[in-house]
Structure 1
């Protein structure tokens, strides 16, 4: 078991269950299109297409360089680093993914719990608690990378997140105050590098 806090470009938290790296590492692209009429505009259109292709290439290069990336969704765009920029995520016994903070997010965080369940929504204690992060620094439309290592659990589980806020719940999330999120399907873990993708947090309800 690793219990020492490890310093990392992404804010690190040392846990009895392993090391958890979480916290802030965008690309903007815009496309202006005008109606093209007549043969005389064909050259301009081709030039615009070339500029667009160049912009796409620049965006891809920026992402590969590990700078901030941007994901657009109904709550987005989400800005911030991706866990997959961390080379640890290519190693055995690692669990990585990005937590998306909704645009309506507000309040002061108390703790973020990462757990495994065989069925959701939870109807009892988790099958495993992977991490508990004290007072994570979160803001609306943020991508929050999560890296857990060593991740030793094997089997098929959902990943479940409880974000407890000040004046919220303790073990059970408080409806309308705390936030929850989960993978849409169970994942099979076998100690190979595991990536859960993106989980969007939502206000807790039904508890």
Structure 2
């Protein structure tokens, strides 16, 4: 009987970075365990790389104890209502003593070159700077003794900027190449970018629909 492949959606931790569900996906077969962590990349293990898979906290969390030097030692996956360890065991991965094929080893090595934060440092800094400049625009009144504008044009521009950024990341390949580190695939960030787009647009529409949404707070 062939062992099944499982796919579980959830959240978890990569080192000090915590990601809530459903931004992580655990995919396990007899020969490979892969954790897709959206903006934090992919973490791929062969059976020989995994020392053990142990419970982590409550609510179905599992800790992947491994020997891969370039990965953070703290890798935890959580999925509420799922017995993750039992599902992993059902694939035969934990008891697989067979040597990996040269082709699979090569695929895993390539995957490990694209691990960690997916966006270039320069692009991430630029995003944060532009985002904050829009918000600072609503606080310019402090310089002239006025007040802070809540929900003003600066805030709405920041939300619009985030939405445009997400759209470009989803559909414009030259922009993806500009923003992503070499070897990274924009498909791994699709769910995160759709989430960013949805939240930005929803808040923007909510602010625009409320009469008198922009308020000035005086000192």
With normalisation by structure 2, the TM-score equals 0.17
Larger fraction in strand: 1
Larger fraction in helix: 2
With normalisation by structure 1, the TM-score equals 0.18
